[in-house]
C-alpha cells in the first residue's frame, strides 16, 4: 500500500512529487500546473496526457492529499481522531451542515456551496440526528410489532381456513354419499318392478305356449280322425260314427249344437283368465295367445321421467 502511495505522489508529466495534486475523471493524477498546461489557451477543456480522455475543469479534484491524510508513513490507516479533519482544508470538523447532512470545517462554512445553509455544532448535531433516528427506530419497532401480530393473526386465519375446508369437504362427501344411496335404492326398486312385470308376463306366455301345444295336438288328432272317416268305404259305419265325430270335433250342421258351443265359448271368455287381459301387465290369453307386457313396461319407463330427475340433480349446487 505504501508503494502505491509513492507512485500516486509522482506526477507522470514532470516525474516529481505532486504539487497541488488533482485527479481527472479517468483516474490519473497530475500537478495542477502540469495538467493546466494540457488545456489549450482560451479553452476550458483538455485531454489526459496518459489516456487522451477529454476532461473539463469540473473534473479536477484533489485525491493524493486525501490518501496521504488517511495514511500514516508506514501505510496504515490513521486513528479516528486524525480523520476528524477536513480532507480539503485540514481543519477540524466542528460544524454540521443541515442541508447537505455532512460535517464540515469553518472554512467550508464560508464557501459558496454552503451559502445560506444552517449549521449546528457537532455535539448538537449528534443529539439532533440521534433523536431523529430514535424516533424512526421507535416507529420501525412498532411497525415490526404490528407486522408480527398481523402475521400471527394471518396464520391463525389460514389454519382456521384449512380446518373449515376439511369440514366442508367431509360434509359434501357425506351428503353426496347419502344421495348416491338414495339413487341406488331407487334404481334397485325400479329394476325389481321391471323384473316382476317381465317375470309374470313370461310365465303367462309359457303357459300359453303349453296350452297352444295341447290345442295343436288335439287338432292334429281330430284332423286324423276326420281324414280316416272320409277315407272309409264302409258307408254304414261312417254314418253311425258321424254324430259322435261331430260332437267330439264341436263342428256340425245342427243349429242347436252350434248355439250351445258358442254359449260355451262366451262363458269361457267370462272367466278370470280373460279378465286379466285388461290388467296393467297386459298378460293373459287372447285367442290362446298371452299378450306382451311391453306396453306396460313402456308406460312404466315413461313414468320414470329421467330428464326431470337429471334437471333436478343438475340444479343441486352452491348458490352464487
The 10s digit of each residue's pLDDT in 44-87 is 678 888 888 888 766 654 454 444 444 444 444 444 444 578 88
Give the integer Cα–Cα distance in Å for 32 and 316.
Answer: 92
Task: Give tens-digit pLDDT for 75-113.
Answer: 444 444 445 788 888 888 899 998 988 999 988 888 888
Shared domain check, 249 and 169: yes
Give the integer Cα–Cα distance in Å for 56 and 46.
Answer: 7
Give the integer Cα–Cα distance in Å for 197 and 68.
Answer: 116
Q: Specify the pLDDT at position 320.
A: 60
33, part of any domain: yes
Shared domain check, 277 and 153: yes
Shared domain check, 154 and 55: no
Q: Specify the pLDDT at position 83.
A: 55
242, part of any domain: yes
Q: Indicate if the pLDDT at residue 157 is higher than 90.
A: yes
Domain count, the chain: 2
Shared domain check, 279 and 160: yes
Q: For residue 287, what pLDDT band results from cuts at 50, 70 and 90?
A: low
288, part of any domain: yes
Shared domain check, 197 and 55: no
Give the largest Cα separation in the chain, rounded.
Answer: 176
Go through 247-258 and write b for each residue having 16 or more CB atoms within 10 A of its CB, e for each that does not: eeeeeeeeeeee
Q: Taking a C-beta distance cutoff of 8 angstroms, is the pair 279, 285 a contact?
A: no
- Determine the structural domain holding residue 245 and report its residue range: 140-315
Domain boundary among 80, 96, 126: 80
Shared domain check, 171 and 55: no
Write down the pTM of the prediction.
0.40
What dihedral angle (degrees, nearest 10) is formed by the CA atoms of 312, 313, 314, 315? 50
Whole-angstrom CA distances from 148 to 66, 137, 141, 160, 232 are: 47, 16, 10, 18, 124
Mean pLDDT of 159-184: 92
Q: Specify the pLDDT at position 158.
A: 95
90, part of any domain: no
User: For residue 226, what are the contacts with CB-CB under 8 A and spacing of at least 6?
Assistant: 245, 249
Give the integer Cα–Cα distance in Å for 24 and 55.
Answer: 7
Q: Specify the pLDDT at position 262.
A: 38
Q: Indicate if the pLDDT at residue 258 is higher than 90.
A: no
Give the integer Cα–Cα distance in Å for 61 and 311.
Answer: 87
Of the candidates 228, 276, 224, 226, the one whose C-alpha atom is nearest the C-alpha of residue 246 is 226
Shared domain check, 281 and 164: yes
User: How long a stretch of residues is the chain?
Assistant: 320
User: For residue 194, what are the contacts with CB-CB under 8 A and spacing of at least 6?
Assistant: 297, 300
Shared domain check, 70 and 173: no
86, part of any domain: no
CATH assignment at residue 6: 3.30.40.10
Give the integer Cα–Cα distance in Å for 313 and 175.
Answer: 13
* DSSP track, 173-218: HHHHHHHHHHHHHHHHHHHHHHHHHHHHHHHHHHHHHHHHHHHHHH
Amino acid at each position: 500500500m505504501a508503494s502505491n502511495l509513492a507512485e500516486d505522489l509522482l506526477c507522470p508529466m514532470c516525474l516529481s512529487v505532486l504539487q497541488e495534486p488533482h485527479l481527472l475523471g479517468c483516474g490519473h493524477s497530475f500537478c495542477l500546473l502540469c495538467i493546466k498546461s494540457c488545456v489549450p489557451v482560451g479553452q476550458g477543456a483538455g485531454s489526459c496526457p496518459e489516456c487522451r480522455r477529454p476532461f473539463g475543469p469540473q473534473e479536477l479534484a484533489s485525491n493524493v492529499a486525501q490518501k496521504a491524510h488517511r495514511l500514516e508513513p508506514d501505510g496504515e490507516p490513521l486513528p479516528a481522531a486524525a480523520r476528524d479533519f477536513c480532507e480539503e482544508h485540514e481543519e477540524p470538523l466542528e460544524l454540521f451542515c443541515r442541508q447537505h447532512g455532512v460535517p464540515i470545517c469553518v472554512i467550508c462554512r464560508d464557501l459558496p456551496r454552503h451559502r445560506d445553509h444552517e449549521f449546528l455544532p457537532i455535539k448538537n448535531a449528534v443529539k439532533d440526528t440521534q433523536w431523529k433516528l430514535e424516533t424512526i427506530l421507535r416507529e420501525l419497532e412498532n411497525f415490526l410489532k404490528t407486522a408480527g401480530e398481523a402475521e400471527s393473526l394471518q396464520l391463525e386465519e389460514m389454519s382456521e381456513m384449512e380446518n373449515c375446508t376439511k369440514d366442508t369437504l367431509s360434509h359434501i362427501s357425506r351428503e353426496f354419499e347419502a344421495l348416491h344411496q338414495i339413487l341406488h335404492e331407487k334404481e334397485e326398486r325400479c329394476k325389481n318392478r321391471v323384473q316382476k312385470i317381465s317375470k309374470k308376463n313370461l310365465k303367462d306366455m309359457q303357459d300359453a305356449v303349453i296350452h297352444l301345444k295341447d290345442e295343436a295336438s288335439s287338432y292334429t288328432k281330430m284332423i286324423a280322425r276326420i281324414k280316416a272317416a272320409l277315407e272309409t268305404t264302409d258307408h254304414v259305419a261312417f254314418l253311425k260314427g258321424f254324430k259322435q265325430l261331430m260332437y267330439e270335433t264341436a263342428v256340425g250342421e245342427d243349429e242347436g249344437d252350434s248355439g250351445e258351443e258358442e254359449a260355451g265359448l262366451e262363458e269361457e271368455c267370462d272367466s278370470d283368465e280373460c279378465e286379466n287381459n285388461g290388467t296393467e301387465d297386459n298378460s293373459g290369453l287372447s285367442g290362446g295367445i298371452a299378450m306382451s307386457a311391453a306396453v306396460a313396461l313402456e308406460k312404466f319407463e315413461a313414468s320414470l321421467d329421467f330428464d326431470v330427475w337429471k334437471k333436478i340433480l343438475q340444479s343441486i349446487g352452491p348458490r352464487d
